[in-house]
Amino acid sequence: MVVHLRVDEAASLCIYMAPGTRLQTDLYVCLRAHARMSTLLAAFVLSPSVTKASNNRAFWDLPNDLMIIIMSHLTNDEDRHTMRLVCRHWHMAVNANVSRLTGNMYWTCNEHVLMLPQFSHVASVNLSQCTLVGHIRALKFLPALKKLELNWCTGLTPASLGPLADLTGLTHLDISGCPEAVTDDSMRHLAGMGNSLEWLSLQGCPLLSSSGLAWLRTFCRLSYLDLSGTRVVNLLHLSGCTSLRRLRLSGCEQLADGAFHSLAGLPALADLDLRGSRHLMTATLLDDLARLPGLRKLDLEGSEDLTDANLDSLMQLTGLTHLNISDCALLTQTGLNQLTLRMSRHCAVFQGYS
* pLDDT at residue 143 greater than cutoff 80: yes
- Residue from 261, 260, 131, 149 nearest 200 by CA: 149
Q: How confident is the model at residue 260 (pLDDT cuts 50, 70, 90)?
A: very high
Mean pLDDT, residues 124-138: 80
Give yes or no for residue 221 having a pLDDT over 90.
Answer: yes
Query: 240 or 5, which is more confident?
Result: 240
pLDDT, greater one: 20 or 240: 240
Q: How confident is the model at residue 351 (pLDDT cuts 50, 70, 90)?
A: confident
Percent share of the chain, pLDDT over 90:
51
Residue 39 has pLDDT above 80, yes or no: no
Question: Higher model confidence: residue 63 or residue 184?
Answer: 184
What is the pLDDT averaged over residues 55-62? 52
Each residue's pLDDT tens digit, 311-321: 999 999 999 99
Contact 119, 96 (CB under 8 A): yes
pLDDT confidence of residue 30: 45
Residue 90: band (very low, low, confident or very high) from pLDDT cuts 50, 70, 90: low
pLDDT, tens digit (0-9, with 9 covering 90-100), for 265-305:
899 999 999 999 888 888 899 999 999 999 999 999 999 89
Query: Is there a contact between 238 and 244 (Cβ–Cβ < 8 Å)?
Result: yes
CA angle at 195 for the pair 191 and 196, rounded to the nearest 5°: 100
Nearest to 115 by CA among 129, 90, 131, 135: 135
Cα distance between residue 98 and residue 145, in whole Å: 11
pLDDT band, residue 37 (cuts 50/70/90)? very low
- Domain locations along the chain: 3-76
